[in-house]
Structure 1
């Protein structure tokens, strides 16, 4: 069987690459993947799979015509917070696959935010006709329940990604703190200035090496460089293209300060203490589920608002650094085991294909 894998792949976002790596890890061996990618040459080289341009209609049409299954491969694909085009693109491909008679699966999804009526309509329409659906958070599961659409609820699939060692990482000075920030309209220049000073002061107080991890360099790289320029102690900006190695980095981290959703997932999955900064409901949901210390960038978030001065930030980080704890081995194992329910959905659904 051949399955077309559809997601935000080949776009330079480490979180989405981690979802693809996890999907490839969990896909039944009897299934041959064909990936829609923004950089098909790189995707093919990195994962050893066939890949085609995600925006080439002839290539996508050919891929669907040669396949028996179509899989939305994790993440917040059906949301219109970043672009109203997202539901049209991903929903359109799903409907095309369904119209061509392929087995269709919405896998590891985080549904929403869906601000527009048209986005909600197309999301409901496509999911109603899927052969299997799994979601990664309670809010998505509740929305689908309200729509009368059965689904499997399990933690984000990246919990189950097998991590590996990043060569040379152990040579960095210890202890280490990881910082994974991203650009956002609510991360104003003033807030970034406070965060930068707080990180620098935290480093001075703890004598840590700051590991800056731009998960999507085109959006995060400038922030990482800006912070690095204000540090007086050791630091390293690391762009890790191998998702398993990126997850493995957090094994050697004492504290992660993370905005990126999958930075939070990877940190806690590797037993690292984590302090989150939420810019999106998906980050807020995992923070609340795991009872992590966190700030929100918007007053609309049900979290303490990010402090308006560096000293308060530093003090809260120092408190968590000194007295906070990561998830226990039992808690991590529980989340990994439940994340494997996404694999079970794949096996059970694809086994029904003639």
Structure 2
């Protein structure tokens, strides 16, 4: 593989480090040629590192374009990779004459690159914004940077994320720390806890918040010291602020550190970062290499490294009070610092090494070249429609699973999702989206797609809304008329109560659907009773069964943010405010108290639909006089699955809480507000359920007794779920067949 990299040659900071370390390591595997538009320290350092480097200067853009196009074509390069505004402009101009894909790594927010320089922003900034939109692909230096650009209207399926990686080879001993720190001017003693930061002293780094937060923390932890390595236009302002706050003696301005940063980081106890905007700063991984406890603003890609309360602390930009509390906690907690520093090192060294960065970059190149060479087809890809974008973790889990399965068939296929919240779905899953009412967009997508998926869940029903039934049936008809193959994917059917709706559904499904794959047998009976006979009908399972739990650190973080100790003994209630629930809500409180007093299980009221379920949880917990917790927002499907895996048992009205818990081998009890709940439980051989209407305190306590005292064995439940996961593969195989793959 041959890739040409374009860069101005005057870059510094994180962008410089990223490009040079990346190219040095890429050249061990492929040819990565560097072209700088000016000579100087950047190019000199590149040559010294063994990176093939060429200077192509001058301001005659048409000449530069011709020269580079000829060089690229003669050299047999396969891809053009740009870094920075000038390179992006040249890259955009090279697309047509070379016929090659052009990708840019976006190292920073281009709207902030010229902060405080209005003329440069109006010229270079505007040119860069134009160029970025005329490239084929973009790579964000963090998922947060990708999200930022997608939010600004860039195509969501033309993005990749990469993280700055470093060499985690253990550093040699850096010498005696007190002598080093005192040499920088710091007033430190043996028991001092040294907070450090290495950054430019400019407004984006918001050092004022750091000084204020440090002064706040110092009030309750007098052994805290702060060392700031760096210089810039705010140096005088920050010194004045330290004097004003009475910490002038405890704050050291060390200036720029020469001779590498290992010695600096090795002398610290706490690494800090207070930036208003970041992509993914090297300062945090460099600190992690030295096992430093870390406090940082929750900006850019930083939350992908730091799991709150587990391996570090995050705070909102400008919130110096919270920063002060965190610094005081770390200053007073020697064991806490060591534990957080160790956990951060473990995660950073595993996920953010230079080798991980290089492997990711190579994978991106391979995918871009493969997509560029993909044969053009009149019909390509999939349109997926379902109850998405509503904040319901169950429905969104179905979408996540279907997307994974479509990408397993063809990782490059175009995908469009019909959703209530196009922006949120586009950001979360990085797919093209259309609003449910954006008829023109989704009909256009249908005309170009090979397959329409009516995506999981119980969409064909008229209990919650007759309008939704009409909507899904209309879309199925529209997809069929547009020439798509139509698959209803791992779905449930019903209840469809009104006779006219049953006739309408049967008519549309018989005329417009190719294959229906069902998640449980009760739905098959419902289709048969409605008279649906024309489509091929297969019994499979819910796609959400295939999703894994998040990492242990992510699960810990979700629980800790909700104030829930990470490894207690818990009984989870996943409830929804359905008709008749308010009358039954006190029964759950009685059952919770019974489980706590009898089995030592602390109740956790968890939300699957984060906008609605917390109300049900609080109704059920009203007047509860035992310890209890609320998990109102457990995040993505992976973290919800992980949170449920920490429970000893689950009582649920929500189907997908049962599906998630079953997949983790957790004992279950169902409260049936909809036949789909009992249908799933019977499908896995589980009879521990009762209708909401028939629920009594004694019946609920008896279900808890059965879960705890004589549950279906984990082995039996695991075997049943594994069988369903194997059956679920039929959903994928059917889609592959309909796509002609």
Contact 2:450 2:739 in 1 (8 A): no
2:604 aligned residue (211, 228, 241): 211
Q: Deviations over 1:225-260 (max 9, x none)?
A: 334452521424241231122122222211000001
Distance in 1 of aligned mates of 2:723 and 2:451? 30
Contact 2:449 2:484 in 1 (8 A): yes
Q: Counterpart in 2 of 1:194?
A: 587
2:631 pairs with 1:244? no
2:687 aligned residue (292, 299, 319): 292
Distance in 2 of aligned mates of 1:122 and 1:95? 12
Contact 2:381 2:450 in 1 (8 A): yes
Secondary structure, counterpart of 1:257 in structure 2: strand
Distance in 2 of aligned mates of 1:283 and 1:130? 26
Q: Tell me by how many angstroms 1:319 deviates.
A: 4.0
Q: Tell me by how many angstroms 1:173 deviates.
A: 4.2
Q: CA RMSD in A?
A: 2.1
Q: Tell me by how many angstroms 1:18 deviates.
A: 0.9
Provide the TM-score with structure 2 as the length reference: 0.44
Contact 1:182 1:219 in 2 (8 A): yes
Secondary structure, counterpart of 2:493 in structure 1: coil
Distance 1:351 1:84, change over 3 A: same
Contact 2:587 2:620 in 1 (8 A): no
Secondary structure, counterpart of 2:460 in structure 1: coil
Question: How many corresponding residue pairs?
Answer: 343
Distance 1:273 1:205, change over 3 A: same
2:731 pairs with 1:346? no
Distance 1:152 1:311, change over 3 A: closer
1:161 aligned residue (547, 569, 573): 547
Q: Counterpart in 2 of 1:131?
A: 514
Distance in 2 of aligned mates of 1:64 and 1:79? 24
Secondary structure, counterpart of 2:668 in structure 1: strand
Instruction: Report which structure shows greater RCO (CA 8 Å, sep ≥6).
Output: 1
Distance in 2 of aligned mates of 1:100 and 1:73? 18
> 5+ unaligned residues in a row in structure 1: which ranges?
299-304
Q: Tell me by how many angstroms 1:73 deviates.
A: 0.7
Q: Counterpart in 1 of 2:523?
A: 140
Distance in 1 of aligned mates of 2:719 and 2:707? 21
Distance in 2 of aligned mates of 1:60 and 1:247? 32
Distance in 2 of aligned mates of 1:231 and 1:6? 44
Instruction: Give structure 1 regions of 4+ aligned residues with deviation exceeding 6 angstroms.
Output: none
> 5+ unaligned residues in a row in structure 2: which ranges?
1-379
Secondary structure, counterpart of 1:199 in structure 2: helix
Secondary structure, counterpart of 1:215 in structure 2: coil
Q: Deviations over 1:110-147 (max 9, x none)?
A: 11111122322232223223222211121222344553
1:51 aligned residue (421, 425, 433): 433
Q: Deviations over 1:162-216 (max 9, x none)?
A: 33232424842411221101011132x3311122222133223333232221111
Distance 1:232 1:72, change over 3 A: same
Contact 2:547 2:638 in 1 (8 A): yes
2:608 pairs with 1:226? no
Distance 1:141 1:210, change over 3 A: same
